[in-house]
Structure 1
Amino acid sequence: MLRAHSEHILALNPEGRLMSVDLLRGLAIAAMVLVNNPGSWSYVYAPMAHAEWHGWTPTDVIFPLFLFVVGMSIVLANGRRETFPRVAWPQWSRALKLYGLGLFLAVFYYNFRDPGYDWFADRLAGVRFLGVLQRIALVYILCCYLVSWLSTRGLIVAAALGILLPWLMMLWIPYSSDNGEVFRGQLLFGNHFSAWLDQWLLGREHVYYRTAEPFAFDPEGVLTTLPAVSTCLLGVLAALAWKSSDGSAAARIKLCRCWLAAGAILLLAGQLLHPWVPINKALWSPTFVLVSAGVSLLLLATLFYLVDIRRMRAPLAPLLVFGVNAIALFMLAGVVGRLLIMIPVGEMSLKGWLFSNLFQPLFGSYGGSLAFAISCLALFYLVMWQMYRRRIIWKV
């Protein structure tokens, strides 16, 4: 049955696409949904949680993996053409829709259990300006401009500057708190130049970590968007390497080896530099860019070898269902996840009731939390499969 299902998926997949990239996108968005929907945030296995501050876990590299694929998609959408079109309304429309969807998720919540809940004050007046979809929107439009303006060498320089300049700013630019205390070079939770900038530009009430001291900040903040652009540009460069190959079997093998070697070098370099330049997702530090890009390239090379060289497609085909409708899946998961928290069941939410009365008794605390997340992903797969088989592709 599973093999027949996979063959059905492959039969519906349009020809001429680089399947490994669709699968990589599907892997990234499926992992993102899985780690964002535990049965209880009190019971999350360590690999499925973010690092507390410095360091990294598999969960930390999921978002940069998605941005890496965004960069590849910018190039692949242009086919084999040598020149890239000027940025116009189609690109801006996509970016604005992504940003708008991010704002929608930010305000889509109501506490029905609190009769005095003020939605306007809590959600609208204090809307979070930045977030996952908002960052994707900003990174996408900036990369579109860079790809249309710069040569390959220029893109390499831009990626390097995007990694280094924000980090040098965090190390060397002094900043002060409300009480006049001056800081420089701090890399602490709530005390770093990027946090100061977020609070100054966005306001304490419009960021994710509102209660952080001395500065509120956003993990998808203003300054850290620049190295996130570099992550996307590394995806652009990986796709340009594919584009420059002649498509022969020997060229595909050579490309795969180059991606593997580059991924291993970046991952090793980032890990070795960690004692001096800490790996930190919230700061999107240079070592975090290296490590996440290294993981992305290794996964890309592995999938490219399996499905585009060896043609071993059936076992991985279900990821296509997620990959071709990634934003639809993210929105579905976001809306359903919030509804499960909003709908009251007695003194608790529907999500809390399901976890404590069904999943926790059956699988235990940690196992039940994971089983809840897997069940959500399976449910979302059924919806995405119906869209896929009807060729409903939600393009923003």
Structure 2
Amino acid sequence: MKNRVESVDILRGLTIVAMIMVNNPGSWGSIYPPLMHAEWHGLTPTDLVFPFFLFIVGISISYAYKNKPNTWLTYKKITIRSLKLIGLGLFLGWFLPYFPFFKSFESLRFPGVLQRIGVVFFIAAILFLNFDWKKLFAIGLLILIGYWLFLGFVPLPDGSIPTFDRASNNWANYIDLNVLGNHMWKDDYDPEGLLSTLPAIVTSIIGILIGKVLASKELKKTQFLLITAAVLLCTGYIWSLWFPLNKALWSSSFVLVTSGWATLILALVYYVTDVKKIKMGTIFKYVGSNAITIFFLSSFIAKTFYLIKIGENQSIHSWLYQTFYTSWISIDKLASLMYALTVITFYLVLGYIMYKRKIFIKV
């Protein structure tokens, strides 16, 4: 982005660090509750991480494509970038760090984090190029209301009444089961499923609208961001009484609440770094400058460490965890957290080195 907003870069990097942290515990059986996703309905700090990133994707779109012509070449670049993200996500799910290097196609999971980022980026960028802020606001609102009405009130093909429960009579689960079949994360749902990607687009649309606020020369930005955050949070929590907060469904209330928290944190960081010019969180900016690259690398290495065995029954991951953490830390959850913090430190250092050497890998 030209005329980069310091707070956006910092928030992007902080979000990537949080994504790496929650994805790399020492043991999945020993995790402090705030670092776990809600089992179904509900919201934990961990549930904020992915929507924060899609929110920032929207802000980035509003800057990167602000002066781009609405031409075939622009659409081509958007399409290529989207396909790269989807391809990287599919590769992460498909590859094996040993012969034959790829798992069977029948067991490949189609959805995923990078795949959703690619799809959301593509649609949000196209919408940005073709509609002004009023129409984007209307599109986002229609999607959220329509999604709620569809999931909650439209009968399933067998005539049964839909629910928001984790079951086949939930529309999102029903569609994923019938379209994706075995290519899902679990037998009964996928957190990055097909239908739930629709409201995820609204998360980026809200980011686009916030990006327009940040680019404005007329608005009192900090105050406007704080008011917007309050409206989003209040509306989202009230709506959750009828449409529960749910990351797996990416419920409409979840969109508003997570976007509200993202806007609130952005407002605070913006005030400190961009208004008061106080240096804070620069290390996160380094990671944010190569966000997708570092996230992909962290996922690739983590999967490799889990799958490559040392001896007969121990993976690289378990050997590192037992040798350097559980061997001297008696509290299991603390040992697991220390492992995750070590992983984060590695990628913070890597981000710093890449930034200082002006290595910026664009996906």
- TM category (shorter chain) comes to over 0.9
Q: 1:15 to 1:160 in 2, by over 3 A?
A: closer
CA distance in 2, matches of 1:260, 1:39: 37
1:243 pairs with 2:215: yes
Match of 1:40 among 6, 15, 27: 27
TM-score by length of 2: 0.93
Alignment of 1:85 onto 2:66: no
The 1-side partners of 2:338 and 2:16 are apart by 18
| Post-superposition offset of 1:267 | 1.5
SS in 2 for 1:183: coil
Q: 287, 302, 305: which one pairs with 2:253?
A: 287
- Aligned pair partner of 2:343 in 371, 376, 383: 376
Offset from partner CA, 1:202-255 (integer Å, 9 cap, x none): 22x111112x2xxxx311111111100000000000111222324xxxx5xx21
Q: Deviations over 1:126-167 (max 9, x none)?
A: 211111000000000101111111111100011112212122
Alignment partner, residue 205 of structure 2: 233
Partner of 1:133: 114
Indicate if the aligned counterparts of 1:332 and 1:380 stay in contact, CA closer than 8 A. no
Aligned length: 358
Q: Is the 8 A contact 2:36 2:44 kept in 1?
A: yes
**Conserved? CA contact 2:2–2:63, under 8 Å:** no
User: Quick check: 1:190 aligned with 2:190?
Assistant: no
1:306 pairs with one of 272, 277, 290: 272
The residue aligned with 1:74 is 61
Q: How much has 1:84 moved relative to structure 2?
A: 5.5
What is the CA distance between 1:190 and its match in structure 2? 3.0
Query: Could you tell me how far apart the structure 1 residues matched to 2:323 and 2:160 are?
Result: 49
Given the superposition, is the C-alpha separation of residues 165 and 15 from structure 1 closer, same or farther in structure 2, using an over 3 Å criterion?
closer
Residue 301 of structure 2 corresponds to which residue in structure 1? Answer: 336
Query: Normalised by the size of structure 1, how large is the TM-score?
Result: 0.86
Runs (5+) with no aligned partner, structure 2:
none
C-alpha separation between the residues in 2 aligned to 1:258 and 1:104?
41
Match of 2:278, as an amino acid? M
Query: Residues 1-396 of structure 1 correspond to what in structure 2 (within 5 A)?
Result: 16-78=3-65, 81=67, 85-86=70-71, 87-109=74-96, 122-175=103-156, 182-191=159-168, 192-203=170-181, 205-210=182-187, 212=188, 217-246=189-218, 251=219, 254-313=220-279, 315-346=280-311, 347-363=313-329, 364-396=331-363
SS in 2 for 1:175: coil
CA RMSD of aligned residues (A): 1.9
Secondary structure, aligned partner of 2:162: coil
Q: By how many angstroms is 1:276 displaced?
A: 2.0
Residues 1:88 and 1:273: Cα distance change in structure 2 (over 3 Å): closer
Gaps of 5+ in 1: 1-13, 113-117
Q: Secondary structure of 2:327's partner? A: helix
> 1: CA distance between counterparts of 2:216 and 2:247?
32
Change (3 A) 1:84 1:282: farther
8 Å CA contact 2:284, 2:348 repeated in 1: no
CA distance in 2, matches of 1:351, 1:89: 40
